[in-house]
């Protein structure tokens, strides 16, 4: 095992290397998040040919007033760059699940709109998605652990959003 602390102590003294407990938490988070993401992707691809980012776009649009949202707001909501969102929206448009329209209050703005076909797709795919999330995450944790995870991830999210 590579020991970063021992290897770099002489040359980089201002780095706060991870101790054993911190490293275990980090590695567990990385492994679990990658494995869960892989399971989610497999389920969504099999059920509807969707990627996880595409599914999240459909969910956010379905929860928005009028099933529509400005592209810039949608990019923030699903935590992707504007160019990545444009690509995903283009794919969803080709599948007939989303359409783009001009924003009535600002002709420079573009709205992404969930189509009826997109809503039906989401209704069909969501139960399987929830099964995967429940089986591999939610049902593995107690209520207390769920609250702790939520608090921890919200703190991490807030830190990342303010430093962006």
pLDDT recorded at residue 106:
80
Token pair belonging to 86: 């444009």
- Count of the separate structural domains present in the chain: 1
State the residue range of the domain holding 26: 4-163
Q: What is the pLDDT of residues 60-100, one digit of tens each?
A: 999 999 999 999 999 998 988 889 999 999 999 999 999 99
Phi, psi of 119 (to 5 degrees): -65, -40
Convert the pLDDT of each residue in 113-149 to its tens digit.
999 999 999 999 999 999 999 999 999 999 999 999 9
Residues of the chain above pLDDT 70, percent = 91
Identify the residue with better confidence: 145 or 14.
145
Cα 110 to Cα 72: distance, rounded to the nearest angstrom: 8
Query: Rounded to two decimals, what is the model's pTM?
Result: 0.86
Q: What is the CATH number of the domain that holds 159?
A: 1.10.10.10
What pLDDT does 84 receive?
A: 92
CA 34-60-87 angle, 5° bins: 70
């Amino acid at each position: 095992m590579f020991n970063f602390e021992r290897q770099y102590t002489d040359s980089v003294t201002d780095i706060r290397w991870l101790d054993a407990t911190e490293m275990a938490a980090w590695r567990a988070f990385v492994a679990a998040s990658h494995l869960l993401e892989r399971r989610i992707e497999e389920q969504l691809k099999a059920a509807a040919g969707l990627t996880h980012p595409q599914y999240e776009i459909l969910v956010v649009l379905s929860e928005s007033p009028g099933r529509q949202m400005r592209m810039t707001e949608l990019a923030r909501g699903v935590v992707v760059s504007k160019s990545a969102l444009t690509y995903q929206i283009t794919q969803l448009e080709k599948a007939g699940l989303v359409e783009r329209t001009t924003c009535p209050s600002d002709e420079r703005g573009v709205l992404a709109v969930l189509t009826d076909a997109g809503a039906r797709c989401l209704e069909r795919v969501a139960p399987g998605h929830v099964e995967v999330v429940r089986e591999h995450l939610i049902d593995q944790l107690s209520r207390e652990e769920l609250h702790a995870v939520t608090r921890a991830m919200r703190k991490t999210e807030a830190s990342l959003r303010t430093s962006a």
